[in-house]
Structure formats: structure tokens, C-alpha cells
Amino acid sequence: MLDKSDDIHPLFHGAPQTTEFRKLRKRIVRNTREAIESYGMIEPGSRWLVCLSGGKDSYTLLAVLTELKWRGVLPVEILACNLDQGQPGFPATVLPDFLERMGVPHRIEYQDTYSIVVDKVPAGRTYCALCSRLRRGNLYRIAREEGCSAVVLGHHRDDILETFFMNLFHGGKIATMPPKLVNDEGDLFVYRPLAHVAEVDCEKFANAMRYPIIPCDLCGSQDGLQRQQVKAMIDTWEHNHPGRRQKLFRAMTQVRTSHLLDPNLFDFAGLIRPKPAELEQNPPHNAAED
């Protein structure tokens, strides 16, 4: 899409004209389109509830989906949605004003889940888990009310990596945020189109566009949370071995169930040795060399 004054969505007004920013924008768009196509997210004519928190990730999500729609390669209707959860100090006018200026169809919903979380979570414990469940329930409700088939979230590659290690170290399982899933009720998709996009790219993009970022620590999130510890660990790996994040992420896309230990995923009990005659015709591949 050429950024001519008469052919540009308001979300991209004032975009830097530097070569570096153009490469950044192109990379984000390419990675997002790749994820959308790879995981089969497009249902032509459907309506997406694009969740906007006011952070760098959700602004990037809204912008890149708008660009893909503008280009004609994302044949869906986009409805931006912000759920104001009543956190103290939340600037309630920032997102409505921004979306009005940008001409983006949107819905702003107020639900004081913060008070519920503070009441239910013991002192010293983190709010994130309960807060997330309450938020997700409200977003599902709004999606149904608006006739949307999917709730679209701004989780990026680094969120997915961190969740993998959170589950590994603290949950005792190998799992992470999938790029596409169906909710428990079976009536809505949940999409993460930024699954292949690096967090640093979201940050550079949103800052370069000067979107009005709302801080994510309004609820009093404590330092030293498990996720922050995992993030610091990955940051250290990346610092010592540049490219480690991408290698870790690539590993999650190349899973060999026969080389893990879950009998529900691979039929170890049914594994048999081929007969001598079969071995002569088809020499075995030495898995130990992989």
C-alpha cells in the first residue's frame, strides 16, 4: 500500500518515511499475514472482535490488520473493542478519542472486574490469572452480542515463548498459547495473528507511530513475577546467543511426537521392529543422529 495523502488509512498518517521503518512495517505485515494464512484464520465475510488494551501490542495488531484489510487480503469486518476493567488511574478517554479520530469502528465496555479481583485474591498474590479469566469472559460475551465469530488478541511471539516456559517450569506440561483455538463453549474462535511477530518489532512500530500507549501496570503488578523471571531468562539467552528466541520459537513449529514421552500422542506400545526382509529393502533411519 502506497502512503499517498489521498490513499492511506488514518492509522498510518505521519508514518516515518525512513528505510528502517518501512522495513519494520513490511516485516510485521509479512509475519502477520503468514500466521493468518498458516493457521487458517480467514473466514470470508466474518466479523472479528479485535481487542485493544492500549498497549504497544494491541495498537500494532489493530494497525496491521487494518493494513491487510486495506490491501484487500483480509476479507473480514473489524470491530475494535476495549474493556475498561476499572483499574485505578486508567485513562478512560484515551482509546475512545483515538478510535474516533482514526475512524475505526469500535465498542468501549466498562466492567469493574478490578474490584472483584482485589476482593478475591489474597494479599501478596498476583492478580493476573483471575483478571484474565474475567476479561476473557466479558470479551466472549461482547463478541456474541456483536455477531463476531472470533476474538482476536495481541499476543506476540515472545508472549508465546514465555508461556511455553511458564508451563514447562511451573505447570509441568509442554504447552503454550496457540495461534488459533475454539473456546470451551465451541461458538467462538480465538486468534493470535501476531504469533510470528517479535515483541521488539511491536515496540518499535507503536513508538514510531506515536500511538498513545497506556501502561500495563495500572493494577499494581509486582516485580519478580514468574513471567518476568522467565522473560529475564530468555533475554539473557538472547544476549549471550543472538537469535536464540527465533530458534526456540521455530522448535515449537517442528515437534516430533515420537521423540517425546507422551503415549497419548505417539503409540509407543504399538511400535514394532520390522522383519529382517523388510530391513534389507528399507534400511532404518538412525534417529540417534538427529
CA atoms within 13 A on the CB side of 132: 5
Residue 244 inside a domain? The answer is no
Residue 281 inside a domain? The answer is no
Instruction: Look at the block and give the residue holding cell 522383519.
Output: 275
Which pTM was predicted?
A: 0.87
Residue 270 inside a domain? The answer is no
- Mean pLDDT value across the chain: 89
Residue 229 inside a domain? The answer is no
Length of the chain in residues, anyone? 290
Q: What is the CATH number for 215?
A: 3.40.50.620
Residue 56 inside a domain? The answer is yes
pLDDT of residue 198: 97
Residue 208 inside a domain? The answer is yes
> Quick one: cell of 244?
536464540
Spatial distance between the Cα atoms of 244 and 99, rounded to a whole number of angstroms: 37
Percent of the chain with pLDDT over 70: 89
- State how many domains the chain has: 1
Walk along the chain (290 residues) and give the pLDDT tens digit of each residue: 445 544 568 888 889 999 999 999 999 999 999 999 999 999 988 999 999 999 999 999 999 999 999 889 999 999 999 998 888 888 989 999 999 999 999 999 998 888 888 877 777 677 777 888 888 999 999 999 999 999 999 999 999 999 999 999 989 999 999 999 999 999 999 999 999 999 999 999 999 999 999 987 655 554 447 888 999 999 999 999 999 999 999 999 999 999 999 999 999 999 988 777 766 667 666 544 45
Residue 284 inside a domain? The answer is no
Residue 258 inside a domain? The answer is no
- Segments forming the whole domain that contains residue 113: 10-221
